[in-house]
Amino acid sequence: MAYVNWGGAAEKISVDAAGLIAVPDGVSDTIAAGLSVTYGTAMHGLEQRGRLQAGETLVVTGAAGGAGQAAVEVGRLMGARVIAVASSAAKLQIAAEAGSSDGIVYPGCDLKSEVRRLTGGRGADVVYDCIGGEASEPLIRALSWQGRFLVVGFASGEIPKIPLNLLLLKGAEAIGVFWGDSVRRDPAGHRRGMARVLDGVAKGDLHPKTHAVFAIEQIRDALGVLDRREAQGKVIIEF
C-alpha cells in the first residue's frame, strides 16, 4: 500500500519505493486502500506529535467523523481513556462503538466544564481537535498541566484565534499535525506508524469502515457520495 496524495485513480502509477508498506495477511486490499489518511493522521498525531501515553485522557472532537473515529480507535489502542465530542447523542454512539468511554454533546454545553467534570477536575492530557472554531479555546482551557492540544483540522470552517497566555498558564503545548507533509519529510516514521496501524487491523484491534466500493467507471457516483457528505466510512475505487 502507499499514500500517493493525488493521481491514485489510475490503472498504473509510479510510487517511490520508500513510500511502500507491506500489507499483512488478514488485511484486505479494500481495507488497506482506505487506511492511510485517517489512521495515518491519527497515529502520527497521537504517537509522534502528541506523545500520548497509556492511562492518559484523550479528548477527540468531531469524534463520529472519519478522522475522529480513527483517533478514538488509535487512542484506545494506545491505552488512553477517550472522551468523545460530537454534535448529537447518535454521533456519540458511533464514537462509543469505536471505543470512547465518555461523550459530550457540543454545541449545547460548557465544554470546558464538562471535560473538567469527566476528569475529576484534572483536565485532558491530550486534545485531538478536528473541528476548530468555537470549540478550540474552551478545550485549551480544559487541558491539564502540561497538556497537549493537537491542531488537526477545521471542519467547522472557522480557524480560531487562541490567547497564548492560556498555554503559558498551563505549561501547555499547541502542536500542528500536518500528516501529509510528514509522509514526505519522514518516510521511515510514516512506515512505522502505518505498520502499527496495519498490525492493529490484522489483530482485530482496529475496525476501519468502508462505506462502498465503486468500479472506476462509477467514479462520478463515488465522488458524489463524498460531495453530498453521505459517506459513513471510506469510499473505495476498484479496478
Residues 75-86: tens digit of each pLDDT: 999 999 999 999
Residue 88 burial (CB count, 10 A): 12
Q: Which residue type occupies 215?
A: A
Q: pLDDT at position 130, please?
A: 94
For the chain, give the percent of residues with pLDDT over 70.
100
Q: Is the pLDDT of residue 8 over 90?
A: no
The mean pLDDT of 46-67, rounded to a whole number, is 95
Distance in angstroms (rounded) separating the CA atoms of residues 6 and 29: 19
Residue 40 CA to residue 2 CA, distance in Å, equals 11
d(CA 94, CA 146): 30
Q: What is the mean pLDDT of residues 24-40?
A: 92
Answer whether residue 160 shows pLDDT above 90.
yes
Name the residue ranges covered by the structural domains of the chain. 37-180, 210-239
Mean pLDDT of 142-157: 95
pLDDT for res 209: 87
Q: How far apart are CA 146 and CA 129, in angstroms?
A: 17
Q: Are 130 and 106 in contact (CB under 8 A)?
A: no
What mean pLDDT is predicted for residues 210-235?
Answer: 89
Query: What is the percent of the chain with per-residue pLDDT over 90, rounded to a whole number?
Result: 77
pLDDT score for 155: 87
Task: Please tell me the CATH superfamily of domain 37-180, with its number.
Answer: Medium-chain alcohol dehydrogenases, catalytic domain (3.90.180.10)
User: What mean pLDDT is predicted for residues 202-227?
Assistant: 92
Q: Determine the 3-state secondary structure of 103 from DSSP.
A: strand
- Nearest-angstrom CA–CA distance, 92 and 103: 6
For residue 232, pLDDT over 80 is answered with no
Give the per-residue pLDDT at 226. Answer: 84
Residue 197 and residue 32 in contact, taking contact as beta carbons nearer than 8 Å: no
pTM to 2 decimals? 0.90
Residue with cell string 456519540: 92
Report the pLDDT value the prediction gives residue 82, as an integer from 0 to 100. 98
How far is the C-alpha of 149 from the C-alpha of 137, rounded, in Å?
Answer: 10
For all residues of the chain together, what is the average pLDDT? 93
